[in-house]
Amino acid sequence: MRKTILLFMMMLWWGLPTQAYGRQVVPILVYHSIDEFKGHGSKELYVTPENFEKQMQFLKKNGFTLLTFERWKDISKVKKPIFITLDDGYKNNQNAFVVFQKLKDDQFQPVATMFVISNFIGQPNRLTNEDLKKMSDSGFFSIQSHTATHPDLTKIQNADYELNTSKIKIENITGKAVIALSYPFGNFNKQVVNETKKYYLFGLTTTPGPYVERGVADDLFVLPRTYVKYSTTMEDFARIVRGGK
């Protein structure tokens, strides 16, 4: 009898998802350009508006709850939490705005976090102050920092300028708190984390994989993210949002 019980418990242990043991799996996705690829830049950093819409429809149909970092504490309260992030502040991110407007209804409230490079705001192919204010006020987007000039933070001396100046500038545009930083190139080290903690509540990497709480001090400053790319198929996307890499 004891052997039977032990075998049953082992089957439960290996068969149940990690969430069952208090280790919630939360995908954080990273996008860059939401546009057709026209030969400029890296093709893999583009996702067509058509594919982006299909991906958001998948999340809607499968009961995911999209969150921004202002609602981080809700990850344990909502069904299938997931974070959509967009880096660099490209003008074509307005295509994501259009998709969100199209898909929103009483049951599905799409939101995303946009990480902008503050000194690049208003440059060619980048969102303007007015664009960012409109997107922030819409309720669809949380506008957060991707530093002032997009340097490798592990190789600079003046982190205060990159982290604090960008934070202040974005807050002045949106009128809302900037609480999250996306590390340029995903690069970080202990010093970068320590500097980030002075100004922000979250630091995001590009280390692939979902977030799984580990209960360590700097968990929220080394948040992993998984790229969604031009070549990402719907099968790939389904695997990623279900906790794969």
Q: Which two tokens stand for residue 187?
A: 């690069």
Query: What is the structure's pLDDT at 186?
Result: 97
Per-residue pLDDT of the chain (245 residues; tens, 9 = 90+): 444 434 434 433 333 343 434 578 999 999 999 999 999 999 999 999 999 999 999 999 999 999 999 999 999 999 999 999 999 999 999 999 999 999 999 999 999 999 999 999 999 999 999 999 999 999 999 999 999 999 999 999 889 999 999 999 999 999 999 999 999 999 999 999 999 999 999 999 999 999 998 888 899 999 999 999 999 999 999 999 998 77
Which DSSP letter does residue 153 get? G
Phi, psi values for residue 199, rounded to 5°: -120, -20
Asked whether the whole model's pTM tops 0.85, one would answer yes
User: How many alpha carbons lie under 13 Å from residue 210 in its C-beta half-sphere?
Assistant: 21
In the chain the domains, ranked by start, together with CATH numbers, are 26-241 (3.20.20.370)
Q: How far apart are CA 128 and CA 34, in angstroms?
A: 17
Q: Is residue 217 left, alpha or beta, with left meaning phi > 0 and alpha meaning psi from -120 to 50?
A: alpha
How far apart (Å, rounded) are the C-alpha atoms in residues 49 and 46? 9
* DSSP run (H or E) holding 200: none
Q: Are strands 81-88 and 65-67 parallel, antiparallel or unpaired?
A: parallel
Q: How many CB atoms lie within 10 A of CB 14?
A: 7
DSSP string, 32-101: -EES---SSS-GGGEE-HHHHHHHHHHHHHTT-EEE-GGGGGGGGTSSSEEEEEEEE-BGGGHHHHHHHH
Collapse the DSSP code of 204 into the 3-class scheme (helix H, G, I; strand E, B; otherwise coil) and give the result. Answer: strand
Provide the pLDDT for residue 170. 98
Q: What pLDDT, on the 0 to 100 scale, is given for residue 188? A: 97
Write down the pLDDT at residue 15: 36
pLDDT of residue 24: 86
d(CA 15, CA 228): 28
Q: Which residues contact 99 (CB under 8 A, 6 or more apart)?
A: 34, 49, 52, 53, 56, 110
Which residue has 């799409």 as its token pair? Answer: 110
Among the listed residues 152, 76, 99, the one whose alpha carbon sits nearest the alpha carbon of residue 84: 99
